[in-house]
Every structure is written in structure tokens, then in C-alpha cells.
């Protein structure tokens, strides 16, 4: 029996490598969860039949994405694969094709199917707007794939650096025995933005979804249970209530992020109890302080300051953004760089300083 369809199968012509790379950059959460498979001639091992191998890959896919260019359409083997896709489209397989450049799409069989981007606005023509368009492509793909329930915001701020830390935390949360990962660090160091990035990369690891709970507004630990139930009910209309929360999550494979746990440290026994009773449930905590209880499978991770390079990068990016311009002059770069280096790698301080400096410039007050 074929495996349950679950992933994305991307087919492309090897000369379109640049576009493939771009697409994969945008599909990071899917790549990270090993939900994508890329198909080209080089995938086939010696002695295997390409057609048979392709059929096998296609049987496992839930979404097929051909990167369409004239060379793709002119390639006999790829056109045959396209025919295989078209033969099963609709049978639980979705086809979203991506137009890379101007090609005679209308005269191909593809014109009857849904493109992931507008064919009259192919990727090559998007220029500076490509970021937004690629986001839209990503959303379409994940929607077809059945994006798992989450209340994570779709539009997260761009993160500077932190690749190592995000990778470490993703790895910790994927490890079998680990149940609770506690991300600590001083105020403004970047715990929330890093936790958002980590949760986003894990979207396809937790079959029953990822829940984001902001605790900073709560002042009573007894409110945590109700808050989890409310947020859960908002993403899964399953009538989850405070009273039946435990029953509901018992058999579920979920990740709950508790942001700013230092606001409600007395809720630690409640969290420990949830972990005890729901064996497939994991928790990511951000907090100024260590977790005030001992739970088996607990991991602590202290977020270090941003390194100097990423601090400067963040400062320059923010200044460009606040000034709404793509270029900075030499003097501006120097001032921003010097300031960023003196802020001990604290992104919040960098953000506030960038705002102050830009404010001073726009009001034409000379630097002191």
C-alpha cells in the first residue's frame, strides 16, 4: 500500500538551480521537517529506472511543484513527468506550478491548473517584491499541504543571525527524551524572536499543532490553564475548555510555547503535571529565570548576546527600515556601527538606539 501522501515534490531542470535554491530558502520549515523532495535527473541512481523512481516519489507527495521554464517544457523527460502529475492531480495530489520566466504557458496543459504565483508576473520579473510574493507562494503550498494548526503569527520580523541558536533549539526539541526546553536570558536579548523562529521550523513536527501562549499580561498562575484552553479552542474548534484541557491534550502531539514564564513562576507545578500526563506533549519556555521545578527531560539553554557582526547588521537594517531607504551614506554607517558595537549585543538596546539616531537625523539635530 502506498504511504500516506504527505510531502512536497519539486521538479525542475538542472539549469534552473538558482530558482530552486530560492524556493528552498523560502520553504525552510518544510525542508527542516524533511517534507520536501527535489526531483531532477541526478536523483536517479545507476541501475534504477527514472520513470519507476519518479512514480514512487509522486505516490508519496501531497503537493507537486514543477518550476516551469522553457527548458523544463522542452525537456522530454520532464514533460513526461508533468504528464504523470497531471494524470493523478485531484486524487489527493495538488499541483501548484511556479512560473519562472516568460514562457508560452497559455499554450501548455498547465494553463488549466493553479499556478503558485501569477503566471503574468513570473519570478524573474518580481524584483524587489519577490519577498512578499515568495511568502504568498509559501502560504499556498502550506495551505495545500494542510498547515498544522497554530496561532503563530505569519508575519514575523526578520531575524538577524541566530542560526546556530535556532538550530540548537530545534535539535533539542526534536530529541525524543526532551520534554521541556527552557530558553533563558536577560530582557531584550531576543528570546521571543528566537522562540518564534524555532516554533516555525518545527511546524511540521507536531501533528496536533503548535500553540503560542504570551504570559506577560497574566499575573495569576491559575490563569495559565484557561489561557491554554482558550488559545487551543481558537485554532481547533473542538470545544476545548479549562475543565477538559488535560483529557484533550493527553494523546496529542503538540508543542506549547510559554513566552515570558517569569511572570507566572508559580505555574511550574501545573506545567510539570501536564508533561507527566501527556507523554507526547512538549513545552518551550522563554524566561528571565531558570524553570523553578525539576521535570524529567528538562533542558536549559541560555541565549547569549548577539555577536558583533550581527549587532551591526541589525543596527544597519533597522536604520534603513526606519529611514525607509535602501542606502546609507558613509557617515551614517560609521555612526551606526560604532553605536551598535557599544551595546553589548542586546537587540532591544540596538533597536531603541537605531530609533533615536534616525529620529535625530530626521530632525536634523547634529550628532553629539
Ligand X SMILES: Nc1ncnc2c1ncn2[C@@H]1O[C@H](COP(=O)(O)OP(=O)(O)OP(=O)(O)O)[C@@H](O)[C@H]1O
In 3-state terms, what secondary structure has residue 284?
A: strand
Position among 64, 199, 258, 314 found at the interface with ligand X (CB under 6 A): 314
Position among 348, 355, 356, 362 found at the interface with ligand X (CB under 6 A): 348
Position among 44, 71, 161, 218 found at the interface with ligand X (CB under 6 A): 161
274 and 249 in contact (C-beta within 8 Å)? yes
Under rule CB under 6 A, residue 345 binds ligand X: no
Judged by CB under 6 A, which stretch of 97-105, 115-123, 185-193, 263-271 contacts ligand X? 185-193
Residues 271-310 that bind ligand X (CB under 6 A): 286, 288, 306
- Residue (of 140, 150, 154, 133) closest to 63 by Cα position: 140
Q: Of Mg ion, ligand X, none, which one sits near residue 189, judging by CB under 5 to 8 A according to partner kind?
A: ligand X
Site string for Mg ion, 161-200 (x = CB under 5 A): -------------------------------x--------
260 and 215 in contact (C-beta within 8 Å)? yes
Sign for the pseudo-dihedral over CA of 55, 111, 147, 10: positive
Under rule CB under 6 A, residue 189 binds ligand X: yes
Q: Name the minimum Å distance from CB 231 to ligand X.
A: 18
Nearer to ligand X, 202 or 306 (CB): 306
Q: Of ligand X, Mg ion, none, which one sits near residue 193, judging by CB under 5 to 8 A according to partner kind?
A: ligand X
Site string for ligand X, 228-267 (x = CB under 6 A): --------------------------------x-------
Task: Give the up-direction half-sphere exposure of residue 267: CA atoms within 13 A in the CB hemisphere.
Answer: 24
Q: Of Mg ion, ligand X, none, which one sits near residue 119, judging by CB under 5 to 8 A according to partner kind?
A: none
Under rule CB under 6 A, residue 190 binds ligand X: yes
- CA 267 → CA 128, 214, 261, 284, 302, distances in Å? 46, 14, 8, 14, 21
Site string for Mg ion, 349-368 (x = CB under 5 A): --------------------
Cα gap 169→60, rounded to integer Å: 29
DSSP alpha helix (H) spans, the chain = 17-26, 28-32, 50-60, 70-74, 76-88, 130-145, 163-174, 191-201, 223-235, 245-249, 268-277, 308-323, 330-341, 347-362
Q: Name the minimum Å distance from CB 254 to ligand X.
A: 22
Sign for the pseudo-dihedral over CA of 35, 40, 43, 48: positive
Q: Name the minimum Å distance from CB 297 to ligand X.
A: 24
Q: Look up cell 491548473; give the residue.
A: 113
Under rule CB under 6 A, residue 159 binds ligand X: yes
In the chain, the largest separation of any two C-alpha atoms, in whole Å, equals 73
Angle, alpha carbons 12-154-147 (nearest 5°):
60
Cα gap 126→346, rounded to integer Å: 35
Nearer to ligand X, 74 or 154 (CB): 154
Q: Name the minimum Å distance from CB 201 to ligand X.
A: 15
Nearer to ligand X, 209 or 347 (CB): 347
Site of interaction with ligand X (CB under 6 A): 157, 159-162, 185, 187-193, 260, 286, 288, 306, 314, 347-348, 351
Site of interaction with Mg ion (CB under 5 A): 192
Amino acid at each position: 500500500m502506498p504511504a500516506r501522501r504527505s510531502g512536497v515534490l519539486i521538479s525542475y531542470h538542472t539549469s534552473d538551480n538558482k530558482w530552486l535554491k530560492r524556493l528552498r530558502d523560502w520553504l525552510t520549515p518544510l525542508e527542516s521537517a524533511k517534507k520536501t523532495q527535489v526531483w531532477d535527473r541526478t536523483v536517479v541512481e545507476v541501475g534504477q529506472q527514472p520513470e519507476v523512481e519518479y512514480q514512487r516519489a509522486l505516490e508519496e507527495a501531497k503537493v507537486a511543484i514543477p518550476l516551469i521554464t522553457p527548458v523544463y517544457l522542452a525537456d522530454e523527460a520532464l514533460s513526461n513527468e508533468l504528464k504523470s502529475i497531471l494524470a493523478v492531480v485531484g486524487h489527493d495530489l495538488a499541483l501548484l506550478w511556479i512560473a519562472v520566466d516568460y514562457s508560452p504557458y497559455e499554450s501548455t496543459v498547465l494553463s488549466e491548473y493553479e499556478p503558485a504565483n501569477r503566471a503574468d508576473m513570473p519570478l524573474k520579473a518580481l524584483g524587489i517584491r519577490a519577498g512578499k510574493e515568495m511568502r504568498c507562494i509559501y502560504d499556498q503550498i502550506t495551505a495545500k499541504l494542510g498547515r498544522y494548526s497554530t496561532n503563530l503569527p505569519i508575519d514575523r520580523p526578520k531575524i538577524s543571525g541566530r542560526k546556530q541558536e535556532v538550530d540548537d533549539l530545534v535539535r533539542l526539541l526534536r530529541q525524543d527524551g526532551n520534554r521541556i526546553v527552557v530558553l533563558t536570558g536577560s530582557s531584550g536579548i531576543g528570546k521571543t524572536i528566537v522562540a518564534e523562529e524555532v516554533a516555525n521550523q518545527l511546524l511540521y513536527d507536531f501533528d496536533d499543532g503548535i500553540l503560542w501562549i504570551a504570559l506577560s499580561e497574566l499575573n495569576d498562575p491559575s490563569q495559565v490553564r484557561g489561557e491554554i484552553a482558550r488559545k487551543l479552542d481558537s485554532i481547533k474548534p473542538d470545544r476545548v475548555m479549562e475543565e477538559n484541557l488535560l483529557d484533550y491534550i493527553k494523546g496529542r502531539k503538540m508543542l506549547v510555547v510559554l513566552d515570558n514564564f517569569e511572570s507566572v513562576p508559580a505555574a511550574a507545578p501545573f506545567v510539570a503535571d501536564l508533561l507527566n500526563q501527556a507523554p507526547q506533549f512538549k513545552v518551550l519556555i522563554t524566561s528571565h529565570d531558570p524553570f523553578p521545578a525539576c521535570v524529567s527531560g528538562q533542558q536549559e539553554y541560555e541565549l547569549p548576546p548577539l555577536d558583533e557582526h550581527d549587532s551591526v547588521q541589525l543596527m544597519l537594517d533597522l536604520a534603513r527600515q526606519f529611514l525607509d531607504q535602501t542606502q546609507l551614506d558613509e557617515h551614517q554607517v560609521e555612526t551606526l556601527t560604532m553605536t551598535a558595537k557599544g551595546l553589548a549585543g542586546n537587540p532591544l538596546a540596538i533597536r531603541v538606539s537605531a530609533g533615536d539616531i534616525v529620529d535625530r537625523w530626521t530632525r536634523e539635530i547634529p550628532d553629539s
